[in-house]
């Protein structure tokens, strides 16, 4: 019975009802023909406001009309969007966006981590059972591509948006992932994708894959690789997009807080990429320049055309990751002119992408969503020069000191059997085998280590992992740590650096913490099924996948712990 008729009948009968059921004016909600997921590596939320996504469009210092500005003026923006976990690295970030959950569930707890079962450090996308695939075909013995091609999503323990889309459509949907980084292509694409492609710059300058996705590259990608686009971008070099005065909000072009390319006397414009190539990995130098972002848009459009994405009634998914923004942030930090120019040029590339999607798929027929895999800290040496509380900390000396205390307190051990196996991802890994041999309680040792580490001036706190669940109820930072922790792949003690303190060199910056400079990132939606609006209610990275699944009308990834962004979905036209 129609809900309005039912309500009327009940009222006539003397009954009072309250209902929040929304009445649709259409039988079904339109589904996009193509969904484009965009991850901007190391993009902080404040870049949108600093570079003018909401400012006067006539200012030359702002984004143009067709990229980021189009997303905020025509689409939906989540203004308080965060990672609800730590550590905040590239691998976990990409996995979390497309699985709708956190490292505690999907298993990608870092870019690299110590695998206790294997007794070695492992990489998030490595897989020795597969071989690389290039224009030359399958790299059978690994002699050409080496480890660069031995990659797959085997370590990802949950499904992705693309995986569920493939199952829901009986395999009819097409799913691809593309990035300059292997992990940026593979983890979003997922297990059942038609392809994941990443850039191989040594001598070749082409996109490669592994035979997890097929024994040969698709014809359209082989054609693209043969066009020489990478060399053309090398020849263009990198100069400023605008006159010098546009960059006045940034630091001077040559400042003590930014690093240089290898072989470069000083980090200043213009950049002769061909001259830098020999000492910077050949074509890999493009990864840290706007040319890397241009390549991603180029290959994405080649995929839309060559694979005929968005050309039927079955929704397709294209996952794009722009890595150049991360490389430049690591090298020069968030306030360098290079960083500003990188984002102004990325904005133009997004506009080119969106215009092409309008032409190839049709206005209103595609949906895009954009976020980041993590943010990035201010350069501590820059902040310290302004009198702000930021600095550097080096965990190595601290671990040596604590190991000596452990030897004194719990007994001496052979040199090859220390109490502390390693420190990584801001966590301490204890020697469980040694503890078992000595019949010692793991939690006792973990608490001892945490107590000895806590007074270090670079640390906000140090916590035994066994005590974290109880503390999480009142400490939001600890709650984030738990969502990023997985037994067997994570440590026994959490080390929490002070806000703004990093373990890094004196130039450029890094990320990984549970604080806002690393957790606060953009979340933008545009296109089919997306209303115009914004919300200041807090949303999380794990909420993106269930929200997009609602737009596609497909099942959630099987490990989903996030919830749909109701402020977006409830304001759509009904």
Q: Catalytic positions, please?
A: 90
Distance, CA of 11 to CA of 154 (rounded, Å): 58
Note whether 289 and 270 are within 8 A (CB).
no
| Short-list 57, 28, 303, CA closest to 189 | 303
H runs (alpha helix) in 498-564:
516-519, 544-552
| Short-list 424, 331, 376, 541, CA closest to 112 | 424
Q: Is residue 540 classed exposed, middle or buried when 0-12, 13-18 and 19+ CB atoms within 10 A define those classes?
A: buried
Q: Coil, helix or strand for 166? A: helix
Distance, CA of 198 to CA of 348 (rounded, Å): 22
User: Which residue's structure tokens are 């798929």?
Assistant: 361
User: Which residue's structure tokens are 């991603």?
Assistant: 296
Residue 234, CB-side half-sphere exposure with 13 Å CA sphere: 20
Distance, CA of 370 to CA of 514 (rounded, Å): 21
Distance, CA of 287 to CA of 290 (rounded, Å): 8
Distance, CA of 164 to CA of 334 (rounded, Å): 36
User: Which residue's structure tokens are 């596609």?
Assistant: 552
Q: What are phi and psi of 494, to 5 degrees?
A: -90, 130
Is the bond preceding 149 in cis, omega lying within 30 degrees of 0? no
| Short-list 27, 78, 65, CA closest to 571 | 78
DSSP 108-124: --SSEEEETTTTEEEET
Report residue 324 as tokens: 């150049």
Distance, CA of 18 to CA of 460 (rounded, Å): 49
């Amino acid at each position: 019975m129609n809900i309005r008729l039912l309500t009327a009948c009940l009222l006539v009968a003397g009954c009072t009802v309250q209902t929040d059921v929304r009445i649709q004016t259409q039988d079904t909600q339109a589904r996009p023909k193509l969904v484009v997921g965009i991850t901007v590596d190391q993009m902080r939320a404040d870049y949108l406001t600093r570079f003018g996504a909401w400012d006067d469009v006539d200012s030359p210092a702002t984004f143009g009309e067709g990229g980021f500005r189009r997303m905020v003026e025509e689409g939906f923006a989540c203004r308080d969007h965060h990672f609800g976990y730590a550590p905040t690295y590239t691998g976990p970030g990409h996995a979390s966006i497309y699985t709708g959950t956190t490292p505690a569930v999907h298993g990608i707890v870092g870019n690299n981590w110590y695998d206790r079962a294997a007794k070695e450090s492992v990489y998030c996308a490595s897989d020795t059972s597969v071989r690389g695939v290039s224009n030359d075909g399958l790299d059978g013995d690994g002699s050409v591509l080496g480890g660069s091609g031995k990659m797959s999503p085997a370590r990802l323990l949950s499904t992705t948006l693309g995986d569920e889309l493939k199952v829901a459509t009986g395999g009819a949907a097409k799913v691809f992932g593309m990035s300059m980084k292997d992990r940026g292509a593979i983890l979003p694409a997922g297990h059942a994708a038609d392809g994941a492609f990443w850039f191989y710059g040594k001598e070749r300058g082409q996109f490669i894959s592994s035979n997890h996705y097929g024994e040969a590259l698709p014809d359209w990608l082989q054609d693209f690789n043969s066009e020489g686009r990478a060399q053309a971008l090398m020849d263009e070099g990198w100069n400023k997009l605008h006159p010098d005065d546009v960059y006045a909000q940034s630091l001077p072009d040559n400042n003590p807080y930014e690093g240089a390319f290898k072989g470069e006397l000083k980090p200043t414009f213009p950049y002769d990429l061909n001259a830098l190539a020999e000492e910077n990995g050949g074509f890999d130098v493009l990864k840290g320049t706007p040319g890397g972002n241009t390549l991603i848009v180029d290959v994405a459009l080649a995929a839309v055309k060559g694979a005929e994405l968005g050309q039927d009634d079955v929704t397709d998914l294209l996952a794009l990751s722009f890595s150049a923004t991360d490389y430049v942030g690591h090298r020069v930090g968030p306030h360098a002119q290079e960083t500003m120019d990188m984002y102004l040029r990325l904005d133009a590339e997004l506009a080119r992408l969106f215009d092409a999607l309008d032409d190839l798929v049709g206005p209103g027929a595609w949906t895009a969503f954009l976020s980041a895999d993590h943010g990035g800290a201010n350069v501590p040496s820059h902040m310290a020069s302004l009198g702000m509380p930021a600095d550097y900390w080096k965990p190595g000396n601290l671990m040596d000191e604590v190991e000596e205390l452990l030897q004194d307190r719990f007994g001496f051990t052979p040199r090859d059997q220390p109490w502390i196996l390693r420190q990584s991802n801001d966590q301490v890994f204890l020697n469980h085998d040694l503890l078992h041999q000595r019949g010692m309680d793991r939690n006792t040792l973990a608490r001892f280590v945490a107590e000895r580490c806590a007074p270090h001036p670079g640390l906000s706190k140090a916590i035994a992992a066994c005590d974290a669940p109880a503390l999480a109820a009142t400490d939001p930072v600890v709650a984030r740590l738990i969502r990023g922790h997985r037994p067997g792949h994570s440590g026994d003690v959490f080390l929490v650096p002070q806000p703004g303190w990093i373990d890094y060199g004196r130039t450029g910056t890094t990320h990984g913490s549970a604080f806002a400079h690393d957790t606060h990132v953009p979340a933008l939606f545009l296109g089919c099924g997306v209303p115009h609006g914004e919300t200041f209610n807090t949303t999380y990275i794990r909420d993106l996948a269930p929200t997009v699944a609602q737009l596609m009308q497909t099942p959630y990834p099987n490990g989903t712990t996030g919830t749909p962004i109701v402020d977006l979905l409830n304001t759509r036209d009904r």
